[in-house]
Amino acid sequence: MHQVSSLLIKLIPFYPRYFWSGSCVHLIMEKGNGCCFSIMTMPNLIVVLIAIIVIFVIRILFVIHQSRKPLHNLPPKAVSTLIVLGSGGHTAEMINLIRVLQMERFTPRVYVVASTDNMSLQKAQVLEASMVDQAGPDKLKEKAQFMQIYRSREVGQSYLTSIWTTLVALVHALLLMIKIRPQVILCNGPGTCFPLCVIAFVFKVLGIRWSSIFYVESIARVKRLSLSGLLLYKLHIADLIFVQWPHLQKKYPRTLYVGCLM
């Protein structure tokens, strides 16, 4: 075999040179003393990469399809719930929504607010304390938890600078989601919710945790969705988006009109 290889190299002096080594064909560069690589592994690597990409895309499409049936994905027993509070009117709307929930169904509850939003944190604590007083401590199986997270975008912040703050918020959101791993996520507009929802969607795709994401658009949004709502809608991240104006539902047909929640 080595004699054949030597003969071929002498007969073809001006072309890239090949020789057999075991079951692989190697390519010897013109001036390389030992610079060679296997050309048999490259097609295999490409096939593996294509297969991984195809499987990943199929999994994403499956998750999006299943997410269109959020109520079927919820188990009949109590579900751990992550509630994302914004500031000002967002918090007031979410608290009104929480008051009408079946609290024994959505438990344990974890409230997440922006690190700069102490007012919403206090309102959530007051809400939980009032529910304990009404229902009694014996009926509430687990106490609510309260956490704070970096905001992906502050009010009035430019979109350019929000790229960096969004990346920081994503890392913080990842750490929180690994710890919490909720079955339901309720949010209604603040930029704080977007990194959490993205991480939850990635967890779905990877099979780590299936979280049903419910987004309630603010009543102040009359003509178009907020930036957070629009991203969750366009990227198919949210399982269900509720709007409070009928013509908003017509503009975004995959949303659900529920009327005024205030």
Specify the pLDDT at position 180: 92
Q: Which two tokens mark 194?
A: 């977007």
Location of structure tokens 């977007």: 194
Are 101 and 201 a contacting pair, CB within 8 Å? no
Q: What is the DSSP-derived secondary structure letter of residue 219?
A: T
Specify the pLDDT at position 104: 84
Per-residue pLDDT averaged across 64-91, rounded? 81
| Strongest mean pLDDT among 45-49, 80-84, 113-117 | 80-84
Are 5 and 19 a contacting pair, CB within 8 Å? yes
CATH number of 77-130+139-257: 3.40.50.2000
Residue 190 has pLDDT above 80, yes or no: no
Task: Give the CA-trace dihedral at 24, 30, 33, 35, to 10 degrees.
Answer: -50
β-bridge mates for residue 145, sequence order: 110
Specify the pLDDT at position 137: 60
Specify the pLDDT at position 23: 41
> Between residues 191 and 20, which one has the greater pLDDT?
191
Q: Which two tokens mark 22?
A: 């075991």
Q: Where are the domains of the chain?
A: 77-130+139-257
- The percentage of residues in the chain with a pLDDT greater than 70, rounded to a whole number, is 77
Q: Look at residues 202, 190, 201 and name the one whose alpha carbon lies nearest to residue 166.
A: 190
39: Cα separation from own chain's centroid: 39
| Strongest mean pLDDT among 21-25, 101-105, 179-183 | 179-183
Per-residue pLDDT averaged across 119-136, rounded? 85
Per-residue pLDDT averaged across 4-23, rounded? 41
Place 16 in a pLDDT band, splitting at 50, 70 and 90. Answer: very low
Per-residue pLDDT averaged across 157-171, rounded? 78
Cβ-proximal residues to 117 (8 Å cutoff; 6+ apart), any chain: 85, 86, 87, 91, 148
Per-residue pLDDT averaged across 79-86, rounded? 92
Q: Tell me the average pLDDT of the chain.
A: 80
Specify the pLDDT at position 175: 93
Q: Please, where are the H alpha helices in the chain? A: 2-11, 41-67, 70-73, 89-99, 118-135, 162-180, 193-206, 227-234, 246-251
Per-residue pLDDT averaged across 126-155, rounded? 77
Cβ-proximal residues to 72 (8 Å cutoff; 6+ apart), any chain: none
Specify the pLDDT at position 184: 94
Q: What pTM value is reported for the model?
A: 0.76
